[in-house]
């Protein structure tokens, strides 16, 4: 973190990040509040501010978690992309309930999100895939994600082969790669404060809208 980024963070804190969350109210839109916090983390220069923990589990309840990147959010949900042959995909296809956590330690902020997950459309996956750097698109073809890799050279060899195969044209979207979207049922905002008097504001989906309530820290 450089001096300029640190200065932005200090300025943000002085403007009231540590002052606390707004009062719980039914009219508050948690997606808009999420956007405000997400934009603040970006403006502060936090590296990979879009990184989040994705927690999944098997149908019989064995959990696993890993870091992924949030690639979009709106009232339809929170989206991320992966190899459909990966462990996370197998678990999501078998048990579509999942949780997300974003944590910005320097801002003393955390957001927890739970809900059901579904695959996004082929068109949406293709649009995002096309925006990725060429090397990342080739790597998507080369990696048999989550499967045993006998020798490190096998991955490099697969990458080189795909690079040669597509050297004269575009790199197409693999049929085993794409996105998921989590539609939130609960969104909890956590704001750290002095003396561990933290704020926790929970939004729960209710019919066509949201209801909110405070939680003890």
The catalytic site residues sit at: 196
DSSP the chain: --HHHHHHHHHHHHTTGGG-PPPP-TT--HHHHHHHHHHHHHHTT-TTTTEEEEEEE-TT--EEEEEEE--EEETTEEEEEEETTSHHHHHHHH--EEEEEEEEGGGTEEEEEEEEEEEPPHHHHHHHHHHS-HHHHHHHHH--TTS--S-HHHHHHHHHHHHHHTTTS--PPPTTEEEEEEEEEEEEEEE--GGG--EEEEEEEETTEEEEEE---
Residue 71 Rama label (left phi>0; alpha psi -120 to 50; beta): alpha
Contacts of 170 (CB under 8 A, 6+ apart): none
Number of helices (H), then strands (E), belonging to the chain: the values are: 6, 9
């Amino acid at each position: 973190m450089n001096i300029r980024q640190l200065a932005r963070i200090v300025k943000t804190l002085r403007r009231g990040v540590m002052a606390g969350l707004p009062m719980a109210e039914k009219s508050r839109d948690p997606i808009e509040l999420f956007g405000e916090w997400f934009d603040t983390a970006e403006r502060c220069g936090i590296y990979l501010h879009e990184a989040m923990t994705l927690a999944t589990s098997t149908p019989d309840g064995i959990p696993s978690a890993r870091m992924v990147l949030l690639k979009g959010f709106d009232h339809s949900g929170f989206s991320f992309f992966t190899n459909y042959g990966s462990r996370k995909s197998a678990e999501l296809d078998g048990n579509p309930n999942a949780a997300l956590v974003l944590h910005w330690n320097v801002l003393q902020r955390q957001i927890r999100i739970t809900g059901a997950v579904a695959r996004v459309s082929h068109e949406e996956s293709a649009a995002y895939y096309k925006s990725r750097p060429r090397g990342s698109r080739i790597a998507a073809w080369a990696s048999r994600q989550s499967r045993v890799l006998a020798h490190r050279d096998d991955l490099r060899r697969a990458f080189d082969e795909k690079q040669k195969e597509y050297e004269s044209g575009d790199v197409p979207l693999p049929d085993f790669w794409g996105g998921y979207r989590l539609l939130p049922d609960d969104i909890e905002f956590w704001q750290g404060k002095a003396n561990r008097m933290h704020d926790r504001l929970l939004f729960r989906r209710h019919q066509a809208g949201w209801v909110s309530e405070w939680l003890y820290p």
